[in-house]
Amino acid sequence: MKKSLALKLLEDHLLAGELKTGQEIAIKIDQTLTQDSTGTMVYLQLEAMDPDKIETELSVAYVDHNTLQSDYKNPDDHRFIQSAAEKYGLVFSKPGAGICHQVHLEQFAKPGKSLLGSDSHTPTGGGLGALAIGAGGLDVAVAIARGYYYLKVPKVYQVYLTGSLGPHVNAKDVILTILRKLGVKGGLGYIMEYTGPGLKSLSVPQRATICNMGAELGATSSLFPSDERTQDFLRRQGREEDFRPLAADPDASYDQTLELDLSEIKPALACPHSPDAVKNVEEVGRIPVNQVAIGSCTNSSYTDMMAVVKILEGRQVHPDVSLVISPGSATILRLLSENGGLATMIGAGARILESACGPCIGMGQAPSSGAVSLRSFNRNFKGRSGTLDADIYLASPQTCAASAVLGYIGDPSELPPPGAQEEPENYGPVKSYFIYPTDPENRPKATLKGPNIKPFPKTRPLPSTLKGRVLFKGGDHITTDDICPSNASLLPYRSNIPYLSQFAFKTLIPDFKERAEASPGGLIVAGDNYGQGSSREHAALVPLQLGVQAVIALSFARIHRQNLINSGILPLVFENPEDYKSINEGDLLEIKDLRDQLGRGLVLRNLSQNKDIALSLPLSDREKKVLLQGGYLNYAKTHVPGGKEN
């Protein structure tokens, strides 16, 4: 069979299992990345496993999310992560180095290597041909300590590109157009693989933008081949030796194909409150805008920043607009400061932020009440900006910069084209923010924990009878931002699950915690795509802390489903969608003989309605054992893929 590149890379890394769609396999992980808001949990779990040495070729611990230091909590987390990196021999990337995905693309990701990251946008690395996957924190801790990661063999979705982008169009418009066509569930169970003659017109930073927002399609990963554009990028980054050509076999077979002519793509806009609520900018009319934010791991590359500079040159930010810009890395910030780009931004009236996630995760720059904020970011879920009633739109840096000048969401073609943006001949990557591992004998024996770093909640072995009330019934596409909200006041508590649990589901209902305390051992009922968005395992640990035993949904997002299993919470699926409609909040539910029935169809008795409901719980043998033992941590300590079983 002629193979896709995705299949080739999975095959190269296969440790156990069969490469058949839907089967669970274990793959070797070459590199990991963590960021601080998920990283503290990763390193607490790594400490609980306490390996003598790490099993990856390279593991990098970034600090880019919680960089606001309004008291001791965030800096204590940074110090803890640094001490864990030093103890276990990881590279520590200090705050200021930039956003993990941008920095990793520039300095560490390699074509053909596997990369697992505790952040859903890890597939950014697919832009240079890495097999890059986002996962929950515990999966990443296991990859560091044990070298493996389990996943279901995805199908492969070919996106066949022809043509080349017009002068006002950004790679962001490509992925927004794909989101418009396929929706936030469209990539579920797939690796998105980009092919076709249009490839050669796209640089690595443009490819990375497209792969980055593959996360919003729900895809397992996104992947470009490694070709002369990849070699060129690596040469400019001073690491041409990392280049390795990689491509699918000619005439490889794919499970699905989408054809896209890049020349036909127009400036696009994701409207509130979902990245797939996409229209073309020209379709929406003149929406006055109050805030424009440019940056994030999606669109903060050097060429993106220079497109913004060219639009701002000789112009002023509109009086009613606050324009904030966060360049993606220290390397980019330095280049902009050397070539005068920064001076142009400041001269136009932009507010320059440090190279970090910043407003993308609500770390500052919350919009005013009811404001319209236009962002070059990847997520516009309700409340994520820090202002519940703000309307967040997503667009390219070009559309953002033009709108900041115009005062309304405007098509960048209303201003003269900024011209093609060349990458610098030599990026001159900044290395001064990295702390590299020392010799094993010189490493510290202990980590440094501040008072806000609390132990993670203990998982429970599966009971034989599960009985509990429906604490909350939600609709489709409930995000991890709904389950465990994030903003500048909550992010400092990412190491403190008991505190965070007070805010569970706060964007949807005010009293989830009180409900959970009044009916211990409760359940959650939801519609399609439950747990979409972030990889944060906090969205499983918070319900675990509150005693939740199971979630019953029409379907689950990939990373969140695994996080639930890792935490010993059952991800149950309605066999018949009508049953979802019939269940009410407060109903008392029961499943008998759970341990014996696991992995088969389950019968749930709705005791309040005297009605039986058929559920399914498709599990691999490994997942079954993990649930029976009550969580992944203990299981992984001794498990060897394809080897002796626990």
Considering beta carbons, is residue 61 or 297 the nearer one to ligand SF4? 297
Footprint on residues 565-604 left by ligand SF4 (CB under 6 A): none
Helix (H) and strand (E) counts for the chain? 21, 27
Considering beta carbons, is residue 176 or 361 the nearer one to ligand SF4? 361
Q: Say how far apart CA 84 and CA 87 lie, in whole Å.
A: 5
Footprint on residues 486-505 left by ligand MIC (CB under 6 A): 486
Q: Say how far apart CA 70 and CA 488 lie, in whole Å.
A: 10
Considering beta carbons, is residue 393 or 635 the nearer one to ligand SF4? 393
Secondary structure of 149-165 in HEC code, one letter for each residue: EEEECCEEEEEEEECCC
The runs of H, that is alpha helices, within 388-510 are: 397-406, 480-483, 497-500
Considering beta carbons, is residue 99 or 323 the nearer one to ligand SF4? 99
Instruction: Tell whether residue 119 is a contact of ligand SF4 (CB under 6 A).
Output: yes
Considering beta carbons, is residue 160 or 499 the nearer one to ligand MIC? 499
Instruction: Tell whether residue 120 is a contact of ligand MIC (CB under 6 A).
Output: yes
Q: Is 436 exposed, middle or buried (0-12, 13-18, 19+ CB in 10 A)?
A: exposed
Considering beta carbons, is residue 107 or 545 the nearer one to ligand SF4? 107
Residue 222 · residue 214 · CB < 8 Å: yes
**Of the candidates 31, 296, 365, 452, which one interacts with ligand SF4 according to CB under 6 A?**
296
Q: Say how far apart CA 294 and CA 194 lie, in whole Å.
A: 26
Instruction: Tell whether residue 357 is a contact of ligand SF4 (CB under 6 A).
Output: yes
Footprint on residues 379-398 left by ligand MIC (CB under 6 A): 379
Instruction: Tell whether residue 221 is a contact of ligand SF4 (CB under 6 A).
Output: no
Q: Say how far apart CA 398 and CA 169 lie, in whole Å.
A: 8
**Of the candidates 10, 99, 204, 453, which one interacts with ligand SF4 according to CB under 6 A?**
99
Smallest distance, Å, CB 299 to ligand MIC?
A: 13
Q: What are the angstrom distances between the C-alpha of 105 and each of 49, 100, 128, 325?
A: 29, 8, 8, 20
Considering beta carbons, is residue 67 or 486 the nearer one to ligand MIC? 486
**Of the candidates 121, 229, 375, 538, which one interacts with ligand SF4 according to CB under 6 A?**
121
Kindly state the number of chain residues that form the binding site for ligand SF4, as judged by CB under 6 A: 11
Footprint on residues 30-49 left by ligand MIC (CB under 6 A): 37-38
Q: Kindly indicate which of the ranges 13-21, 190-198, 314-322, 354-362 contains the residues binding ligand SF4, using the contact rule CB under 6 A.
A: 354-362
Smallest distance, Å, CB 537 to ligand MIC?
A: 9
Q: Which residue in this structure is represented by tokens 């990245």?
A: 275
Considering beta carbons, is residue 118 or 195 the nearer one to ligand MIC? 118
**Of the candidates 63, 217, 361, 548, which one interacts with ligand SF4 according to CB under 6 A?**
361
Smallest distance, Å, CB 556 to ligand SF4?
A: 20
Binding partner of residue 536 among ligand SF4, ligand MIC, none, CB cut-off 5 to 8 Å per kind: ligand MIC
Instruction: Tell whether residue 177 is a contact of ligand MIC (CB under 6 A).
Output: no
Considering beta carbons, is residue 344 or 380 the nearer one to ligand MIC? 380
Binding partner of residue 296 among ligand MIC, ligand SF4, none, CB cut-off 5 to 8 Å per kind: ligand SF4
Q: Are strands 14-16 and 24-28 parallel, antiparallel or unpaired?
A: antiparallel
Q: What are the angstrom distances between the C-alpha of 216 and each of 6, 173, 572?
A: 19, 14, 23
Query: Which residues 6+ apart lie within 8 Å of 570 measured at CB?
Result: 462, 466, 549, 550, 551, 564, 617, 627
Smallest distance, Å, CB 461 to ligand SF4?
A: 34
Q: Are strands 131-134 and 148-152 parallel, antiparallel or unpaired?
A: unpaired
Footprint on residues 519-558 left by ligand MIC (CB under 6 A): 533-536
Q: Kindly indicate which of the ranges 117-125, 189-197, 320-328, 434-442 contains the residues binding ligand MIC, using the contact rule CB under 6 A.
A: 117-125
Instruction: Tell whether residue 242 is a contact of ligand SF4 (CB under 6 A).
Output: no
DSSP 3-state percent helix, strand, coil across the chain (nearest 5): 35, 20, 45
Residue 591 · residue 602 · CB < 8 Å: yes
Instruction: Tell whether residue 119 is a contact of ligand MIC (CB under 6 A).
Output: yes
Q: Count CA within 13 A, CB hemisphere, residue 311.
A: 29
Longest distance between any two alpha carbons in the chain, whole Å: 72
Q: Count CA within 13 A, CB hemisphere, residue 397.
A: 30
Considering beta carbons, is residue 38 or 300 the nearer one to ligand MIC? 38
Considering beta carbons, is residue 252 or 557 the nearer one to ligand MIC? 557
Q: Kindly indicate which of the ranges 181-189, 353-361, 413-421, 488-496 contains the residues binding ligand SF4, using the contact rule CB under 6 A.
A: 353-361
Footprint on residues 334-373 left by ligand MIC (CB under 6 A): 361
Q: Kindly indicate which of the ranges 54-62, 173-181, 357-365, 543-551 contains the residues binding ligand SF4, using the contact rule CB under 6 A.
A: 357-365
Q: Say how far apart CA 151 and CA 27 lie, in whole Å.
A: 8
**Of the candidates 45, 222, 378, 399, which one interacts with ligand SF4 according to CB under 6 A?**
378
Considering beta carbons, is residue 529 or 535 the nearer one to ligand MIC? 535
Instruction: Tell whether residue 121 is a contact of ligand MIC (CB under 6 A).
Output: yes
Both structure tokens of 584: 């009410």
Both structure tokens of 371: 């404001």
Instruction: Tell whether residue 479 is a contact of ligand MIC (CB under 6 A).
Output: no
Packing angle between helix 171-182 and helix 204-212, nearest 10 degrees?
30
Q: Are strands 611-616 and 602-606 parallel, antiparallel or unpaired?
A: antiparallel
Nearest one of 26, 27, 171, 96 to 331, comparing CA atoms: 96
DSSP 176: H
Smallest distance, Å, CB 377 to ligand MIC?
A: 8
Considering beta carbons, is residue 473 or 538 the nearer one to ligand MIC? 538
Residue 170 · residue 305 · CB < 8 Å: no
Nearest one of 351, 132, 93, 335 to 223, comparing CA atoms: 132
User: Which residues make up the interface to ligand SF4 (CB under 6 A)?
Assistant: 65, 99, 119, 121, 296-297, 357, 360-361, 377-378
User: Which residues make up the interface to ligand MIC (CB under 6 A)?
Assistant: 37-38, 65, 119-121, 361, 379, 486, 533-536
